[in-house]
Chain A
Amino acid sequence: GAVVSQHPSWVICKSGTSVKIECRSLDFQATTMFWYRQFPKQSLMLMATSNEGSKATYEQGVEKDKFLINHASLTLSTLTVTSAHPEDSSFYICSAFRDRVNQPQHFGDGTRLSIL
């Protein structure tokens, strides 16, 4: 199956720090990548849709200045959580999608972010 690599898998940092998370599609070109957040015992929440070479589309209620997304190539998207605070602590998951009919999203392993 398709492989999506997400790095780092685990981050602990102080409040006010900015954290960058990378999402790489290793064996196919991903025209679209998605970023999700998941709090304990809750459903996945879509944060934004990232298309290569264009600005990300954010879901309602997600601060674009807080969560910076860059999709510089067909295999790499990054999410930067700027000036992170404890309430940003969560499990962040990316997925990659190849824009062909009936293709599924393939998820990375996720990044667990803890802000002290």
Chain B
Amino acid sequence: QKEVEQNSGPLSVPEGAIASLNCTYSDRGSQSFFWYRQYSGKSPELIMSIYSNGDKEDGRFTAQLNKASQYVSLLIRDSQPSDSATYLCAVPRGRNEKLTFGTGTRLTIIP
């Protein structure tokens, strides 16, 4: 089992709909979880971090964490074409040093 798993996609969502991105991780001891967005040809950009079970909302983005199921997700409400990008789930190894990235989910918002 990979340490951090994501569906690679592509995931196509109509504009205005909710995009749901999923990530599972193998290390039960993981304490923090990050979602990065990477546009083609650009570097990753941090969009959400979550540390506690439950939901965390920031604008149109909601991160959801379920440590018992080792599952973290990202919801994007009212999807816009500008949300089209690859979304990377990242989990630190050990004490907040190296990040283990999922392979990323390529999201396309269809106008």
- Point out residues on A near B: beta carbons under 8 Å: 1, 6, 32, 34, 43-44, 46, 49, 91, 93, 97, 99-110, 112
In the complex, the answer to whether B51 meets A105 with C-beta atoms within 8 Å is no
In the complex, the answer to whether B42 meets A109 with C-beta atoms within 8 Å is yes
A44 to B101, CA, bound (A): 8
B44 CB-CB contact with A under 8 Å: yes
Partner of A102, one of B45, B51, B88, B90: B51
In the complex, the answer to whether B42 meets A104 with C-beta atoms within 8 Å is no
Contact with A along B65-98 (1 / 0, CB 8 A): 0000000000000000000000010100000111
Size class of the contact patch on chain B: 20 to 34
A43 to B43, CA, bound (A): 11
Which of B43, B46, B49: most chain A Cβ within 10 A?
B43
Say whether, besides A102-B31, A102-B32, A1 and B101 are in contact (CB < 8 Å): no
B110 CB-CB contact with A under 8 Å: no
Neighbouring A residues of B49 by C-beta, 8 Å: 102, 104
B83 to chain A, nearest CB (A): 18
Neighbouring A residues of B90 by C-beta, 8 Å: 104-105
In the complex, the answer to whether A103 meets B103 with C-beta atoms within 8 Å is no
Instruction: Across the interface, name the chain A residue whose C-beta is closest to B88.
Output: A44
User: Can you offer 25 A-B residue contacts whose CB atoms are under 8 A?
Assistant: A1-B46, A43-B101, A44-B44, A44-B88, A44-B101, A46-B98, A49-B97, A91-B43, A93-B43, A97-B96, A99-B96, A101-B31, A101-B96, A102-B49, A102-B51, A102-B96, A104-B32, A104-B34, A104-B46, A104-B90, A105-B99, A106-B46, A107-B44, A109-B42, A110-B43
Say whether, besides A104-B34, A104-B49, A49 and B44 are in contact (CB < 8 Å): no
Neighbouring B residues of A32 by C-beta, 8 Å: 97
Neighbouring A residues of B42 by C-beta, 8 Å: 109-110
In the complex, the answer to whether A103 meets B96 with C-beta atoms within 8 Å is yes
Say whether, besides A34-B98, A102-B96, A107 and B51 are in contact (CB < 8 Å): no
B101 to chain A, nearest CB (A): 6
